[in-house]
């Protein structure tokens, strides 16, 4: 059906009484996404658009059975919010804030792995399984259910891929945005393995960028996958030493550039495209070649 979130997911929003949290809650409700609780230590007992607000994740989980959290608090408070969510037993957690200190990001990642929680971020748009649940800031109205999984560092580039797939009648099983900070808790490789095990995902689109080793490590998984992977790496013309958008999009070792990552993925068997607008056609051709093609509908 999907990975990370589905129709059985029960979502809580940490920081729901803030501007970002309130807007997110209203949009999720409008999309019929399963939001059951909010958390605000300073305003427990109130409601946001009918959603009950609790003082802590522990109280929210006990009262509502929430199992996923979208954390939209300022970067300075992200560590405490994430540790609380993990300690409360939430299975999938999105850390939305950009600019979370690197040491805080490392602590979130380590504690999440120790407790078996799946953390997206920091600086992550989140994840969405169209028609089932939206734990992201992506607009669900622009997606449609289908057989293609997407894993990406960038929410913006993800929209381009979604549009290209939709034009081909190829909807999405789940879209996962990892986050663009130098340290993120979940990697491309982690998500590729989940998609490979998902019965209803027939192909995966991998969107990467310069900087870091996530795409290089993903190549080891691509080589062992049963499902085709179509990949695009952004930042071909990025000058050395210049950060491109995300804090993590900064060239380090020579292999962290576009040619290095493309070469690693191609050697592993991925179908690598040089133009993000060509992804829809590339996915269509790959599915047709493998007799896996079936438009959404």
The token pair at 254 is 């020579």
Which of 203, 191, 201, 265 shows the shortest CA–CA distance to 233? 265
* Percent of the chain topping pLDDT 70: 90
Helix orientation angle between 258-268 and 214-222, rounded to the nearest 10 degrees = 10
pLDDT at 126: 97
**Tens digit of each residue's pLDDT (9 = 90 or more) over 226-285:** 999 999 998 665 555 555 554 444 455 556 688 889 999 999 999 999 999 999 999 999
pLDDT at 297: 41
- How confident is residue 290, by pLDDT bands cut at 50, 70 and 90? confident
3-state secondary structure 202-248: CEEEEEEECCCCHHHHHHHHHCCCCCCEEEEEECCCCCCCCCCCCCC
Q: Residue 292: pLDDT above 70?
A: no
Cβ-proximal residues to 275 (8 Å cutoff; 6+ apart), any chain: 232
* Percent of the chain topping pLDDT 90: 81
**Tens digit of each residue's pLDDT (9 = 90 or more) over 32-67:** 999 999 999 999 999 999 999 999 999 999 999 999
List active site positions.
246
The token pair at 233 is 């790496």
pTM for the structure as a whole: 0.92
Cβ distance 131 to 145 under 8 Å?
Answer: yes
In sign, the C-alpha dihedral spanning 240, 188, 296, 287 is positive
């Amino acid at each position: 059906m999907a990975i990370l979130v589905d129709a059985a997911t029960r979502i809580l929003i940490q920081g729901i009484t803030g501007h970002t949290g309130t807007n997110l809650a209203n949009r999720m409700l409008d999309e019929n996404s399963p939001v059951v609780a909010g958390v605000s230590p300073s305003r427990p007992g109130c409601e946001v658009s009918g959603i009950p607000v609790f003082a802590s994740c522990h109280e929210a989980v006990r009262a509502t059975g929430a199992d996923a959290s979208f954390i939209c608090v300022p970067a300075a408070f992200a560590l405490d919010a994430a540790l609380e969510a993990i300690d409360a037993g939430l299975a999938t957690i999105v850390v939305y804030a950009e600019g979370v200190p690197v040491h805080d990001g490392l602590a979130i990642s380590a504690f999440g792995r120790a407790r078996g929680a799946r953390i997206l971020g920091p600086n992550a748009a989140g994840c969405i399984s169209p028609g089932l649940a939206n734990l992201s800031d992506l607009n669900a109205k622009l997606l449609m259910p289908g057989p293609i999984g997407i894993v990406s560092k960038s929410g913006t580039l993800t929209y381009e891929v979604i549009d290209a797939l939709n034009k081909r009648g190829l909807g999405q099983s789940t879209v996962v945005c990892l986050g663009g900070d130098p340290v993120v808790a979940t990697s491309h490789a982690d998500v590729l393995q989940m998609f490979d095990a998902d019965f209803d995902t027939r192909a995966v689109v991998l969107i990467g960028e310069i900087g870091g080793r996530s795409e290089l490590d993903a190549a080891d998984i691509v080589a062992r996958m049963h499902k085709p992977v179509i990949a695009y790496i952004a930042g071909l013309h990025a000058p050395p030493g210049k950060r491109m958008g995300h804090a993590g999009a900064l060239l380090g070792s020579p292999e962290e550039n576009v040619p290095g990552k493309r070469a690693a993925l191609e050697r592993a068997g991925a179908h690598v495209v040089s133009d993000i607008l060509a992804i829809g056609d590339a996915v269509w051709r790959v599915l047709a070649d493998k007799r896996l093609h079936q438009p959404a509908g």
